[in-house]
Amino acid sequence: MQASGANTQAAIADLHAHTTASDGALSPTELVHRAASRGVKRLAVTDHDTMAGVPEAVRAGRAAGVAVVAGVELSVLWEGREIHVVGLYLDAHPVLRQGLDAQQQARWQRARAIDRRLAKNGWPGAFDAVANERPDPPGRSHFADWLVAQGAVRDRQQAFKRYLGRQGRAWQRPDWVSLESGIQWLRLAGGTPVLAHPFAYGFTGAWLRRLCTAFRAAGGQAVEVVTGRTTPTRVRDGVGLALRHDLLASAGSDFHAPGFGLEPGRLAPLPASVTPVDAALAPPEVAVSPAAPLV
């Protein structure tokens, strides 16, 4: 283990964060400033199925001395389950661009389907309310916040349990790209596919190993070992996955909003037994200009 503290590379590289381009609360510029104020030197902007926030973040990063990594968090399907794959260091590529367009269409269709199911269960008007507030397709968290505002549920958690989660009354199976094709899009765009938050899927150890095997076979290259939902035990388990499946290790806060989960850059250091996904790049201290190809 490296000594903990703000000077370790792991503490100043944050490779998973969201903006208002998807379900984050801060604009790309606000996110970069918040990360910079916490000592982050390399920040990946990884919105759900869109790279719309990246150009603004890159501009803000240049001014603030933060190397912004062009990224995305893809929702993919594997064995009928939704898995998240973060892509890092992405170039513009027509296949990825078309793929992200298709994912956005899938999000719109899913939002419409959730709206119909909520209406059947006594809560009409959700789509119009949440879609009117934003240009991008609404996600389940937006529906959850609407249900809370209506007094239908106490909080987001209850909204997912009763309505929006897999066991909920308004559950709609998403029509995402397959794990294999999603990884292919990222690789075509010169990106590094990272299996996001491996312990957030509720899988047993055997299923997680199957997932990692499939992920690696399809061209996946790294796994998040330190995430916003990490405990020391989980870091140890994540190291086990990285070593067993010959994957690089990534660290990201999965920051969405102030006061909600981890702040940008507030990460435990990656254990020395794994190879960081950004080890091949220049140290973030000197990477003031963007270290990665930009969109």
Q: Where does this chain bind Mn ion (CB under 5 A)? A: 23, 73, 84, 196, 254
Our CB check for Mn ion shows the closer of 194 and 242 to be 194
Nearer to Mn ion, 23 or 263 (CB): 23
Distance CA 201, CA 83 (A): 7
- Cβ burial of 139 (10 Å; 0-12, 13-18, 19+) is buried
Alpha helices in the chain (DSSP H): 9-12, 28-37, 54-64, 94-120, 126-131, 140-150, 156-159, 179-188, 205-217, 232-244
Minimum distance between the CB of residue 139 and Mn ion, rounded to whole angstroms? 7
Q: How far is the CB of 16 from Mn ion (least distance, A)?
A: 6
Residue number with CB closer to Mn ion (34 or 84): 84
State which residue, 254 or 278, has the beta carbon closest to Mn ion. Answer: 254
Please name which of 101, 15, 12 lies closest in space to residue 52, comparing C-alpha atoms.
Answer: 101
Q: Looking at beta carbons only, is 86 or 118 nearer to Mn ion?
A: 86
**How far apart are alpha carbons 48 and 40 in whole angstroms?**
21
> Is the CB of 108 or the CB of 288 nearer to Mn ion?
108
Residue in 10, 9, 6 with CA at minimum distance from that of residue 253 = 10
Minimum distance of Mn ion from residue 232's CB (angstroms): 21
Round to whole Å and give the CA distance between 214 and 179: 8
Q: Whole-number minimum distance, CB 120 to Mn ion, in Å?
A: 26
Residue 234 and residue 69: Cα distance in Å, rounded? 25
User: Cβ 24 to Mn ion, closest distance in Å?
Assistant: 7
Write down the least CB distance from residue 254 to Mn ion, Å.
4
Is residue 18 a contact partner of residue 11, using CB atoms and an 8 Å limit? no
Which single residue brings its beta carbon nearest to Mn ion?
84
